[in-house]
Structure formats: C-alpha cells, structure tokens
Structure 1
Amino acid sequence: MRAAAARTGGHGPIGWVAGVSLAVIVAVPFVFIVLQAIFPELGRGSLAAPLQHLPKTLGDPALLRLAGNTLIIGLGVVAGCTLIGVPLAVVRALFKVPCALAWDVAFLVPFMIPPYIATLGWIMTMQPRGYLQQLTGFNLGPLLFSVPGMILIMSLNLFPVVYFAVSRTIEAVGTRYADVGRVFGARPGRAFFRITLPLATPGLAASLLLVFALAIEEYGTPAALGTRFGFEVLVTGIENRISDWPIDLPGAAILSLLLVALSLVAFLIQRRILSSRNFDTVGGKPQAKDKRPLGAWALPVGLAFALVALLATGVPLAAILATALSKTISGGLKPANMGLQNFEEVLGNAGGALQALMNSLSLGIGTALVAGALGALTAYAVVKGSGRGRPVLDVLAMLPSALPGVVVAVGMILAWNQPALPFTPYNTAFILLLAYCCILLPQPVRYATAAFQQIGDNLEAAARVAGAGPFTVFRRIMLPLILPSLITSMLLVFAVASRELVASLLVAPVGMMTIAGFIWRQFEQGSVGLGMTMSFIAIVLTTLIPMLLIAALRRFAGARFTGLH
C-alpha cells in the first residue's frame, strides 16, 4: 500500500519540469502561429481586425498553385519511394540477397547526407557541362530542372525509409501465410499480393506517411531546384513571405497551418487504414525465417541493388568530393584541376568557415544534451507517471513530428519577436537551440519511451518505499537503465542538428554562421568549391563522431552499453 501510494503522486515535480519545458519549446511557438493567423496585427501588440488577413491569403491565386505543387511533390515522392523501396525490401526480406548487409549499409548513407547537400551534388553532376556531360557527353539538365527530376532526386534520398520499414515488416510476417495459400492452389504472385503484402500494411503505411511528411516539409531541394524553373511549394512560399519585403507574417502563419494540416490529414488516413483491419502476425510460438535462394535471379537482383546504391549514395558523394577537390569549377574533371586548395581555405577560416563549423558543432552538442534530458524526463513522466497531464505531455512531445522545420522557425520568430517582451532569446544563439530542440525532440522521446516500457515498476516502488524522492529515483535508477538508448538518440540528434538548414537560415542571429548557412551562402555567391568542401567535412564529422563515441562507450563502459547500435 505504501509503495502504491508513493507511486501515485510521486512524479509531480518531474511532470511539472517536463510540462513547463515543453510549453516553452513546443507549445508557445505553435500557439503564436495560430494567433498570428487569426490576429494580423499581433506583431504590433494588437488583437484588432481578427481574421482580416485570412480572405486575402486564401484568395491569393498563388495559394492554390503552392498547395497543388506541394501535393504533387509529396505524392510523387511517395510513388517514387514505393517503386524503388518496396521491390528491394521484398527481395531483401524473403530471399538470400548477395552482400545483403553491405547493401543495408549503403542505403543508410543517404540518411547521413542532408537532402540539400545531396541535391547540390546532383546539380553539379547533371547540370549543363556538369560531371555527367564531361564524362559521357550526355546532358540531362532538362531532366534535372523539372518536376520529375526533383521527385526522382528526393525519392533517392528518402526511399531508405520505406526500404528498412517494409523489409523488417515482411521479415516478421515471413512466408508461412503465403505457403498456406499456395497449398490451397494460389500461384506465388497471387499469394504474395493477396496475403503477404497486405499483412505488411502497417510498416508500409507508416513509412509512406513519414516519406510524405518529409517530402512536403523539405526546403533545400525545392529551393535549389524548383526556383530555377518556377516551381514553388508551400515551404518556399513561407520562406518568401518571411525573407522578402514586405514581410507578411500573417500570410506565413496561415501557410504554415496549411502545411501542418496536410501532415495531419496524412496521419489520419494512415490511422484509418490501420484501424479498418487486423494485421496480427506474431503469435506465442517463434517461427522459422529461412530465406529462399535467388538462383538464376541472384545476378540481376545484385545489379539492381548496385544501381540503386550507385544513384542514391555513390553519385552524390562522388560529386561532393570531386567539387571539393576542384581548384576551379570551369576546369572540369582534369588531374591538373584537382587539389586540396578548397580544404586549405576552409581550414584557414575563409569566409568564417571554422567559426561556422564550431557554431554548428556546439549547437549540435547543446541540442543533444537539452533534447536528451527533456526527452528522458518527458518519457518518464508519461510512461511511469499517473497524473492527469500525461496525455498532454505525450501530445506536446510528439507535436513537433507534425511540424515541418519551416513552421517551427516561423513559430519561433512570432513567439520571441514580440515588442512587449522584457527580454527575448531572439537574435541570439539561444533561439537556434530552441528551434533545433523543438524539431528534434521526438527522437529522444521515442527512444526513452521504448526503454522505460521495458522496465518493471518493482525497482521504482522499492526505491520509493526506501524513501527516495522522484528525482533521486530517476537519476540513480531509471536514467542508468535507459542510458544506452538515450545516448543513441542523442547522437542522432547531434548529427541532424549540426547541419540543419531551414531553421538556420530563418532564425540565425545576425552575424552568426552555421554549417548549413555557410554552404547555402557559398552556393549563392558562386563559391561552389568551398561550399562542397564544407559539405564533405560536415558529412565526415557528423558521421564519424557518433560512431567513434559509440565504439568508445562500448569498449570502456562494457556491458552497460551493449544496447548501443
């Protein structure tokens, strides 16, 4: 009884800390987006003329074009990722693919290359007189600067989301249900499409939802490619309303809410699909998962995997490195034009490169620490707490998943640029830290939630009976148990935050440069070599640092960190 009583009311302080932090980081920016959309004079401290700006924005003929283009990109990338990722995932899950682990690693690399950097690599490859034309004589510039070209590039960057989700789901389903169908006379193709693939719907639906959300919120690729042939989407429309004079904050807020609504509609469609049928495939008895040999299909399948790996990973990395090593872009791919001049300039702090690098790495570390701590506290309060505020905390923690980075940036500007505030983080490095934490908070929350769900209540109850307070229980018992999973999520947060683009462009204080801002500015100024050099250094550092830290923790911390992967 004493343990039960202690557990009922013991998470209040942690819940309050998590709640106040989430309110500042997540709720306040989102609320100000809604308020700005309703009250156009909010920036002047007035609530006059509510909804006056709404008819003007919704009646703008360009809005229908922006929303339509956004849907075209989102649905097109979903189709592209399906065509690329699903066949590879099915073969990977059901058959013995040659060098399967090597292909998995190769398909992980696009996660390490930020989309805007990969796009810049493709521009250098396929533009007129680009690397492809220099090597083969083919000019695919018209394809690159087109809607199908943009969809293809974004699909090559995002298809691993579908590949890994669907392959793991089909592996769990296995072939036993299809085998039963074949016993009753179904052909292999019919058994797969009528039995195995429908049972993999949860993984497929979840991955395609994520692909759609990532595609419609992506800023770098539409800004780098779409603007060159007049193809604008909601994200670039929001950025234009914030950065171009006259500033249109109410219009940016309304477009931001439309973008959020698109993500929520996709989420509701997924929920409806999954709730309409039963997809249980795992029972109490373990099932054999022996994969079948490919036989004569081994070579064609291997070539298909190699082609996708070349396009998704090899071409962007090769283009980035070739550009970084080129003394001049006009010199082309000639040995005499290759050298380390760009690396020497970056390491010599040309254009503030080293300062940008240090700023981004410092912000990445700070974001990882803050988001990791807040994620652990929030997950603890949600999973182990018992107060009425748990659902609210859960919603606030997951809300950033539905908020594109540009929406978070708009919210930060609206919330912290109010004239009535006695002090504000706006125009300081702290505003970037807040934006990064908001965007990336769901990652540590998910990891920590899964880890807390595996911990029984008896350990906490025993500590509480012995007189330990909630913070002591969390610090001495719970935190050490979830630390491997939490560190993994923090390393992921560090890698993404160190090269985040849209928030860096929109809310970075005057005079402060980040990796993403430096790269973007170099391309706008024509210093492509310096931009690609910084891109290559950023990819190497944000990939190697997490890997080295994990290896060090595994070696020196022993079994406690065997969960790191």
Structure 2
Amino acid sequence: MGAKSVQPVNPAVLLAAIGLVIVVVVPFALIVLQAIFPELGRGSLAAPFSRLAQTLGDAKLLRMTGNTMLLGLGVAALSALIAVPLAVMRSLFRVPGALVWDILMLVPFMIPPYIATLGWIMSLQPRGYLFQLFGFDLAPFLFSIWGIIFVMTLNTFPVVYFAVSRTIEAVGSRYADVARVFGASGWKAFLRITLPLSTPGLAASLLLVFAMAIEEYGTPAALGRRAGFDVLVTGIDLRVSDWPIDLPGAAILSLILVVLSFGAFLVQRWLITRRSYQTTNGKPQSFEKRELGRWKAPVVAVFALVVFLATCAPLLAILATALSRTLSGGLTWSNLGFGNFITIFSDSTGALRALSTSLGLGVTAALLTGLLGALSAYAVVKSKMRGRGVLDVLTILPNALPGIVVAVGLILAWNQPWLPITPYNTALILLLAYCCILLPQPVRYATAAFHQLGDNLEAAARVFGASPLTAFRRILLPLIFPSLLASMLLVFAVATRELVASILVAPVGMQTISTYIWRQFEQGSVGLGMAMAFITILITTLFPLVVLSLMGKRGSLL
C-alpha cells in the first residue's frame, strides 16, 4: 500500500497565512501575554496573573465598563430611533428627492467623528456659533453623556439607515399586503411582518454601530473629560500615554473591550440563526412604492432636519472656524478670510508634510489590505487546504479589535528590548496598525466576489499549465477587482484620518492629518486644525469619486 501523498502548499494560501499572522495574530497574542505576564516587557514570565485581580478589582474599572456599555447601547438605540423610521419611509414610499437624501446621508461617513465633534464644540459651547446667532448655548447638554451619545449618533446612524432601507426593499411588501388582506392594519402588518423579516440587516448594522461607539476615542476624549465620563478607551489611553506607563493594565482593559465587541457579535449571530428570514423563492417580485399623500411635507421636513444636523451643521461649523482669523472675532465678515488655508499650503507648521504622510500611508494601506484581503478570501473560499477555518477566524478577529486595542498590541509586540530589529518608531508601525484595523473591509468584499465565481475558470487555467499563483493573479484577481476596489477606497478614506492608533504609535516627529488636527486644538490653533479638517474631508470624498468615475469610463471603453 503506497504512502499517502502530501498535498503541495498553495503559495497564495501561504502568503495569506503569513500576512494574517503578522498583521492580526502578533498584536493580539501580545495583548493576551502581557495581561497574563506583567513582567513580559522586561523579558520575564514571572508572577503570572498577578495584575489581573488588582486591575479587575479597581472601582474605576467597573464605572468605565458601565459607561462604555451605556455609550454603546445609547448610540445604538438612538441610531435605530432615527434611522429605522427614515429607512422605512425611504424603502416603502416615494420620498421626493430620495437619491439626494441618500447622497447627503453618506457625507457623515466622510467626516471623521473627532472632527465632527470639534465642530459641535465650536457651535454649542459658551460664546459658540449658536450663542452668536441666537443668544443661547447648549454647553450643559453637549458636555454630558446625552450630548456624547447625540454627537456620536449623528455620525453612525447612516449605517443603520442604509442597511435597513436596503433590507426592507429586498423583503418587499407582498407579505405585508397578504396580512392586510386578512384584516391586519398597515401598522400591525409592518410590526409583525416587515420589521421582523428585516432583522438581519437591522441586527448587523446595530452591532456595527455598537462596536463603533465603544471603540471611538475622539468624541469621549473631547467631551467626556469635561463631563467626568470615562470609558475603557480613554482608560487604556491614560495607561499607555501617561506616566507611570501601565502596559499590563492597558492589556487587561483591552481584552475587556474585545470581550464586549465579541459579545455583541455573538448576540447578532444568535438573533439571525435562531429562525429563518428567507423571503426569496426564485420568482420575480413586483414592488411598487406607495405615495406619501398628506404626509409628504412632514416626511421631507424630517429628512431635511436630520440631514441638517448630521451633515450641514458640522460642515458649516468646520468651514466657519477654518475661515475665522481669530475665534474672539466671532461670525463677522471682517473676521473671515483664507489665512488659515494659506498657512496650511505654505507648510510653515508642517501641515503639507502631515498631509502627504497620511495620503501615502492611506494609499499603501489600501494596496496592502486589498492584496491580503484577496489572498485571504481566496484561501477561505477557493482553496481546499486544511486550516481554512482558522484563516477565516483570523480575518474576522479584527472586527472585534478596536483601534486602541490594535495600537496597544503593536506597542507590546514591537517594543520588546530583545528584538534585533523592529518597525517600532517608524512609519511601518502605523502601516501595520491601519492594515489590522481595516483588513475586514477588503476580506468581506473579496469573499462575496469569490462566492460568485465558479471553480471552472481556475481549473481551466491549471489544465493549461498555470500555477495556482498565476491563476490567481491572471484570472481571479481581475474578476474580483471591481468589488475589491470599492473596499480599498474605503480603506484609503478611513486610514488617512485614523486618530487613536496614530496618536499612540506614530513615530516621534512624524505627524499625520489626525495628529496634526488634534495637536492644533490642544495648542489653541483651532482655525488651522479646522482648515486641515476641511481639506481632508474634500480629499477623502472627491478622490474615491474620481477613481470610481475613471474606472467607469475605462470599463465603458473596454
């Protein structure tokens, strides 16, 4: 009986495994090890678990964890309260200017949360723009837990809006119509039929909003300190950035944050898997949206109000501050000018260097995550190698790793004294952080695209002598590229303005867009910070649109 043949290793799978180990496994493993072995930084495995009881027994930890949960649940609940009614109206009725409202609700994605928060501070603080225009301010509300939830919700509710509106459109109205034939009211048919069938989209979007809220650093840092509202993210930052440095405590808090994110993921899985939500049976469905009738004006007014608060108000505050010569001069024509923009483009404060650094890192992160995402998705979907399930878990793990946790893991992993060579204190450490945080986007897009490709294309290439890597590069990668490009543009937009990892692991003397803006506010140069913020929003909005437009023209030519 012959020996069992050993299946050769697919180079694409090997590259995916190596990349995932470097980008995902190393920082997460070091967080776990540091939490267990507090002396790990000194090269010792002594006194395991000795800091666990001390950290978990800290009264402040219970308060920070409770505040984090309150923040995440509050933002998710308010996002649902705002987004679900809008999504229902958008998907079931003919809303005037529906496409325009959709585009305007995309803009909050392009405004980094910490920049939007700074805009709200300029508007609602004492002597802010609201006071200058109408004679009162909302500072007590802004610098409170409810103000933090409100500001963060305006940045996250579009996630729920787009997910639920698309889900309801896919469900259609025929099931609700059947219920109405049998005597159910329109409201009851919606609550008992349409809304439950939309659970997958609603649960997935609320999970994402919860995860975004508990890992957001800029808004709790800017508003929470004055409100005395500490969360796990600010607690981790305090332990990493303030003396005495407490790396074991930061690692333990990081693991608690990971547990919260992963717990939300499990809740979503339970909601989706406990019953069937299938509504498609292969037969075409006609779906005619209803007229709003006498509700047309109120519905348009609600859309306009939400768009004003989420998009127009922060953008106007950012632009007004960027054009102001001095903050004390207020909103007067004599105080407006382009001096801050001239200072930015003269590079006297290092703004252009920060801009070019972030743009370079954003492009590089998009290319690397796109390649690694495509390889990882190929290994999981198309390869027959053992261990595919492990690789799949590794591609999902970054979803449960907030940015500050990734930053802590990279500090622990690459700042060890015994390492002969390290990317720490170089631009490469920032690149690793961005790749880990944003890798799930290309992976999910590429996975969906690979599921749509049959196996016969790669098999045909192999018959004609192509290696697995050649078949991947010449056949499969071009076919999934349109989907992959969309995810890479998203990675670029987010990486160029990422804040928390940039603050924690940026090399000494290197500035990115986010650290430049944050430090200008700390130094009192608010106008310069807002000018840079406005330029960033323009770049991260226009660049993806230009690329997609060019790709569309190229496709039409081909």
Picking from 173, 176, 194, the partner of 2:174 is: 176
User: Structure 1, residues 381-419: CA drift from partner, whole Å, max 9, x if none?
Assistant: 111100112111111112111100000000000000011
SS in 2 for 1:96: coil
1:312 aligns with 2:338: no
* Displacement after TM superposition at 1:556 (Å): 2.9
CA distance in 1, matches of 2:452, 2:443: 14
Quick one: distance in 2 between partners of 1:89 and 1:10?
50
Paired residues of 1:11 and 1:385 also in contact (CA < 8 A) = no
**Counterpart residue number, 1:118:** 116
- How far apart are the structure 2 equivalents of 1:559 and 1:30? 46
**Deviations, residues 303-325 of structure 1 (Å, cap 9, x unaligned):** 00000000000000000000000
Structure 1 runs (4+) greater than 4 angstroms displaced: 8-11
SS where residue 471 of structure 1 aligns? helix
**How far does residue 10 in structure 1 lie from its aligned partner after superposition?**
6.5
Question: Percent same amino acid at aligned positions?
Answer: 68
Q: 1:417 aligns with which of 415, 418, 421?
A: 415
Report if aligned partners of 2:145, 2:227 keep a CA contact under 8 Å in 1.
Answer: no
Offset at residue 489 of structure 1 (A): 1.1
Could you say which residue in structure 2 is the equivalent of 1:24?
22
* Residue aligning to 1:386: 384
* Residue aligning to 2:457: 459
Distance 1:384 1:559, change over 3 A: farther
Deviation at 1:350, TM superposition (A): 2.8
The corresponding residue for 2:266 is 268
The equivalent of 2:93 in structure 1 is 95
Corresponding residue for residue 206 of structure 2: 208
**Does the CA contact (< 8 Å) of 1:11 and 1:386 recur in 2?**
no
Counterpart CA distance in 1 for 2:512 and 2:256 is 29
**1:558: Cα distance to partner?**
2.9
Q: Name the residue aligned to 1:563.
A: none
Contact 1:360 1:515 in 2 (8 A): yes
Length-normalised TM-score, structure 1? 0.97
- Find 1:134's aligned residue among 118, 132, 135: 132
In the other structure, the counterpart of 2:337 is 339
Equivalent residue runs for 1:144-293 within 5 Å = 144-293=142-291
Q: Distance in 1 between matches of 2:279 and 2:554?
A: 40
Q: 2:430 matched to which residue of 1?
A: 432
8 Å CA contact 2:86, 2:303 repeated in 1: yes
Contact 1:9 1:386 in 2 (8 A): no
Q: 1:355 maps to which residue?
A: 353
Instruction: Tell me the residue number matched to 2:299.
Output: 301
- Match of 2:52? 54
Paired residue type of 1:105: I
Equivalent AA in structure 1 for residue 71 of structure 2: I
RMSD (Å), alpha carbons: 1.2
- The aligned amino acid for 1:452 is F
Deviations 1:277-336 (A, max 9, x none): 111111110111110000000000000000000000000000000000000011011000
The separation in 2 between residues aligned to 1:191 and 1:476, in whole angstroms, is: 51
Range 39-48 or range 444-453, more displaced: 444-453
1:11 touches 1:381 (CA, 8 Å); kept in 2? no
Q: Deviations over 1:497-530 (max 9, x none)?
A: 0110001000000000000000000000100000
Q: TM-score, normalised by structure 2?
A: 0.98
* C-alpha separation in 2, matches of 1:308 and 1:89: 12
| 1:36–1:340 distance in 2 versus 1, CA, 3 Å | same
- CA-to-aligned-CA distance 1:116-163 (integer Å, 9 cap, x gap): 000001100100110011111121111111111110111111000100
Structure 1 unmatched runs, 5+: 1-5, 561-565
> Aligned-pair distance for 1:559?
6.2
Per the alignment, do residues 171 and 11 of structure 1 end up closer, same or farther by CA in structure 2, a change over 3 Å counting?
farther
In 1, are the aligned partners of 2:517 and 2:529 still within 8 Å (CA)?
yes
- The equivalent residue for 1:495 is 493
Equivalences, count: 554
**Paired position in structure 2 for 1:65:** 63
Tell me the secondary structure at the aligned position of residue 473 of structure 1. helix
Classify 1:280/1:367 alpha carbon distance in 2 versus 1 (closer, same or farther; 3 Å): same
